[in-house]
Amino acid sequence: MGYDWYLDFVDLNYKPSKTDVVCEFRVEPAKGFSMKEAAGRVASESSAGTWTTLFNLPKRVRKIMAIAFDIRGNFVKVAYPIELWEPGNAPQLLSGIAGNIFGMKALKGLRLMDVSLPKEYLKHFKGPSHGVKGIRKMMKIKKRPITGAVPKPKIGYSAAEHTKIGYETWMGGFDIVKDDENLTSTSFNKFEDRAKMMAKARERAEKLTGERKSAFLNITGETKEMIRKATLLHDLGWEFAMIDVVTCGTAAVHTLRDVCADLNLAIHAHRAMHAAFDRTPNHGMTMYFLGKIMRMIGVDEIHVGTAVGKLVGTRYEVKYVADMLRESHVGKDKKILEQKWYHIKPTLPVSSGGLHPGLIPEVMKILGTECALLVSGGIHGHSKGTRQGAKAAMQAIDATMRGISLKDYAKKHVELKLALEKWGTATPI
């Protein structure tokens, strides 16, 4: 039938070169296809191949074909020669390794698990402009997790109402007030109004507390509009811009990475829509992969989940993604694909979604202190209000950092006591 060509993309004796981009896939062949045939199709369609042998094939193609070189159970590793890739073009990488292959009839399921990016590929990306150290320096927080909250309801407040809740959040001891992912600029809460009112309120909160306070204002939108909003944030003295990186796409994030770096803004990346790709275990792509691409492009912090909160994600996944984001070299033991980050700074993992003070020790057991914790419903739902709720969450962090149980700490900290009375240590669903 002229399909034999697919097997040209499989060579189990091939040893990847230092400059190859290497992907790991979980492949489930459709009925009637062997693993080898399925693996060949993945390597072919994601690189140079088509469904049949060709009448005309430039010699060069043999050199740039991807090779499926390792098949273990359902897991397949594919090596892609560096010549396939345009320097600094993240969408092109995705169009290859995360493109047509997901729709092939010969595959029942396909999951892109990970990619190992060689120095030769990474050198065309700048990574985060601030990174973990830069953020800590900016916020003047040395050791503890950075704390933030989203005013809830997530959309519906006017700019003034939003600011009032934000002010309470800061006064309760939190560092950051974050916009929600679907709050951008609406008739009842214009971005400009919010950014300006919040800037004034932050000044007051900083004066009164003597602490550094900031906000993640959501600039998500059309790229030129994002640039305009980022510039406004800079002009108002803000330190961060928030972007929904999955819905905006890698090209826009890349553009904004450079714009924000020039404006000295760090990027807070929200991952809304990631679960459309990473939730089904046998298809799509992992959060690990997605997070890796975002660190490469240059977001300074990104959501990784909580494991113990309201959204799906196991402890193992959350920690595994967080470590990849903040370490300079992972997979040294080769149990997972090795990744050296070279010049690329670490990205701060952000844990969010259904957290409340009673869950803080658990989440810190998983993530440690090098993270940001967003506790929103879990402070605004406190029986005495937002300020006391934020105090309770800060007390829970304090207790955990000092190795004291929340139960003991609550004896002398009434805000924490009330939070524990309301939520205990329950996982919300």
**Which parts of this chain interact with Mg ion (CB under 5 A)?**
180-181
Does position 422 interact with ligand CAP (CB under 6 A)? The reply is no
Q: Which two tokens stand for residue 417?
A: 């006591």
- 280 residue type, one letter: T
**Residue in 152, 196, 319, 422 annotated catalytic:** 152
The one of Mg ion, ligand CAP, none whose footprint includes residue 422, by CB under 5 to 8 A per kind, is none
Q: In this chain, which stretch among 45-53, 201-209, 288-296, 373-381 interacts with ligand CAP, using CB under 6 A? A: 373-381
Q: In this chain, which stretch among 32-40, 83-91, 346-354, 364-372 interacts with ligand CAP, using CB under 6 A? A: 346-354
Residue 223's Cα: distance from chain center in Å?
A: 19
The one of ligand CAP, Mg ion, none whose footprint includes residue 376, by CB under 5 to 8 A per kind, is ligand CAP
- Pick the closer one to Mg ion by CB: 24 or 180: 180
Q: How far apart are CA 376 and CA 151, in angstroms?
A: 7
- Pick the closer one to Mg ion by CB: 118 or 377: 377
Helices 191-209 and 223-235 pack at an angle, to 10 degrees, of 30
**Residue from 81, 127, 353, 389 binding ligand CAP (CB under 6 A):** 353
The one of ligand CAP, Mg ion, none whose footprint includes residue 310, by CB under 5 to 8 A per kind, is ligand CAP
**Quick one: which of 284, 295, 308, 303 has its CA closest to 253?**
295
Does position 301 interact with ligand CAP (CB under 6 A)? The reply is no
- Cβ at position 218, least distance to ligand CAP in Å: 11
Phi, psi values for residue 143, rounded to 5°:
-115, -40
Is residue 77 within 8 Å of residue 10, measured between CB atoms? no
Based on the residue annotation, tell me whether 334 is a catalytic residue of this protein. Answer: no
Based on the residue annotation, tell me whether 200 is a catalytic residue of this protein. Answer: no
Q: Using CB under 6 A, which residues numbered 196 to 215 contact ligand CAP?
A: none
Residue 163's Cα: distance from chain center in Å?
A: 26
What is the bridge-based pairing of β-strands 372-374 and 146-149?
A: parallel
Is residue 70 within 8 Å of residue 78, measured between CB atoms? no
Residue 111, Ramachandran bin (φ over 0: left; ψ between -120 and 50: alpha; else beta): beta
- Pick the closer one to ligand CAP by CB: 339 or 376: 376
Q: How far apart are CA 299 and CA 138, in angstroms?
A: 16
- Pick the closer one to Mg ion by CB: 189 or 395: 189
List % helix, strand, coil for the chain (3-state, nearest 5).
Answer: 45, 15, 40
**Quick one: which of 251, 263, 255, 173 has its CA closest to 217?**
263
- Cβ at position 311, least distance to ligand CAP in Å: 5
**Residue from 46, 47, 218, 352 binding ligand CAP (CB under 6 A):** 352
Q: Using CB under 6 A, which residues numbered 117 to 156 contact ligand CAP?
A: 150, 152, 154
Q: In sequence order, what DSSP letters do the residues of 201-212 get, joined into one string?
A: HHHHHHHHH-S-
The one of Mg ion, ligand CAP, none whose footprint includes residue 303, by CB under 5 to 8 A per kind, is ligand CAP
Residues 6+ apart with CB under 8 A from 352: 303, 305, 306, 309, 373, 374, 376
Q: Using CB under 6 A, which residues numbered 168 to 187 contact ligand CAP?
A: 180-181
Q: In this chain, which stretch among 57-65, 98-106, 111-119, 304-312 interacts with ligand CAP, using CB under 6 A? A: 304-312
Q: In this chain, which stretch among 123-131, 204-212, 303-311, 392-400 interacts with ligand CAP, using CB under 6 A? A: 303-311
The one of Mg ion, ligand CAP, none whose footprint includes residue 352, by CB under 5 to 8 A per kind, is ligand CAP
Residue with CB nearest Mg ion? 180
Q: How far apart are CA 216 and CA 244, in angstroms?
A: 11
Question: Please, what's the largest Cα pairwise distance for the chain?
Answer: 80
Is residue 153 within 8 Å of residue 180, measured between CB atoms? no
- Pick the closer one to ligand CAP by CB: 62 or 279: 279
- Pick the closer one to Mg ion by CB: 276 or 401: 276
- Pick the closer one to ligand CAP by CB: 44 or 306: 306
Active-site positions read: 152, 270
Q: Which residues bind ligand CAP (CB under 6 A)?
A: 150, 152, 154, 180-181, 271, 303, 305, 310-311, 352-355, 374-378
